[in-house]
Structure 1
Amino acid sequence: MPDNAADQQSVEHIEGVGWPEPASDATYVIRRVHQLRRIPVGELSVEDLRLMVSQSVGTVAILPRILDLLEEDPLAAGDFFPGDLLVATLRLRHDQWSSHVGLLDKARRVAQRVDAMATELDGAQIPELRHLIREFLSN
């Protein structure tokens, strides 16, 4: 259930831009992202958010929700592995954070928390996650 007014609005509504229907031969990812832009942000699943942020779609609208989820559970998992939402978020280009200093600070706090607990984690993706965290924190 959406927590605030922004969570009750879709990315299209927040951005004030509607996208046309995707082409009939569009990939699954393109079709799905078009659909997700019309769903209220608060109703998007971890996997929906992971997909959107990995495609750099609607980041202004979805980053507050993503970071709230990551503060609760830094290793929130979409369809791939624990922490895949954090990995997708840390891969955002640096310029996508420039006008969102408060969100960047929040992302850094989450990254620091995961880095501190990473020694207790196991899994094939942990070295990549630690590398991404260190790279993110050094920028």
Structure 2
Amino acid sequence: MTQPFDPTQSLERLEGQRWPDPPRDTTSLVQVVHALRRRPVGDLRPDELARLITQDVGLPWLLPIAVRILRDTAPGQAAGGWYDDDLLYAVVTRNPRVWEQFPDLAHELRRAVETLVDLTRYVRDEAETFLGSLPEAPVKYKDDPTGSKSEQAGRGEGPRRHPYAQHAKTAQTNAQSAVDSAQSALEASSSRGASDRDLR
């Protein structure tokens, strides 16, 4: 679960760690990351957030900011507006273990991703992988405090899931079927081999 924090603070202040200045001959990426850690997190642009998130820097503070940006701009993307594919890619490609620490944030991102259309192929593939890595979650409705509608949605009586999520689930099912088939074939082959040895 994410904790409230002051967006006027830098990652250095939030983490309580000041990195030493990088060597002069270091890469430009390292220099940029060091510089961005000294900036207030609330002032970071989407491309700067993507740069840090891709390096797994400051995730407890930067992921909530990034997910909020992606969530707030998702409706415009479906209407043909601009959407930050680089930020989306940086966020959905984090290790699944990261999202285990922030399940509410992961499902908030899921809801945003499932509304997106016409993503580039490389981003779409990563988005499908992200969706497929998340456990199923009931659909919640503001006007349904009892949770009955959520149960109906889980039984297929609610809104259909976005095709990206459906494709990810189908890919997982197909992969498992392939594994099961290979295992059955291996067991059958082993049984035939044992029978042949017995006959000899």
* TM-score above 0.5: yes
Q: Conserved in 1, the CA contact under 8 Å of 2:11 and 2:41?
A: yes
Instruction: Give the alignment's TM-score, normalised by structure 1.
Output: 0.81
For residues 1-139 of structure 1, the aligned pairs below 5 Å read: 6-74=6-74, 82-114=84-116, 117-118=117-118, 126-139=120-133
Structure 2 residues not aligned, in runs of 5+: 134-200
Q: Which structure would you say has the larger Rg?
A: 2
Q: Give, in whole Å, the separation in 2 of the partners of 1:21 and 1:98.
A: 33
RMSD (Å), alpha carbons: 1.8
Q: Give, in whole Å, the separation in 2 of the partners of 1:13 and 1:102.
A: 25
The amino acid that maps onto 1:37 is R
Misfit runs of 4+, over 4 Å:
none
Structure 1 residues not aligned, in runs of 5+: none
Q: Secondary structure at the match of 1:26?
A: coil
Structure number with higher relative contact order (C-alpha < 8 Å, ≥ 6 residues apart): 1
The amino acid that maps onto 2:92 is L
Q: Secondary structure at the match of 1:14?
A: helix
Q: Conserved in 1, the CA contact under 8 Å of 2:5 and 2:61?
A: no
The residue aligned with 2:176 is none
**C-alpha deviations, 1:7-28, integer Å up to 9, x for none?**
1111111111111111111111
The amino acid that maps onto 1:110 is A
Q: Conserved in 2, the CA contact under 8 Å of 1:15 and 1:61?
A: no
Q: Conserved in 2, the CA contact under 8 Å of 1:90 and 1:132?
A: yes
Q: Which moved more, 1:27-36 or 1:104-113?
A: 104-113
Displacement of 1:5 in angstroms is 5.3
The amino acid that maps onto 1:24 is R
Over the matched positions of the two proteins, sequence identity in percent amounts to: 31
Instruction: Give the alignment's TM-score, normalised by structure 2.
Output: 0.58
Q: Conserved in 2, the CA contact under 8 Å of 1:49 and 1:66?
A: yes
Q: Give, in whole Å, the separation in 1 of the partners of 2:11 and 2:96.
A: 21
Q: Conserved in 2, the CA contact under 8 Å of 1:33 and 1:52?
A: yes
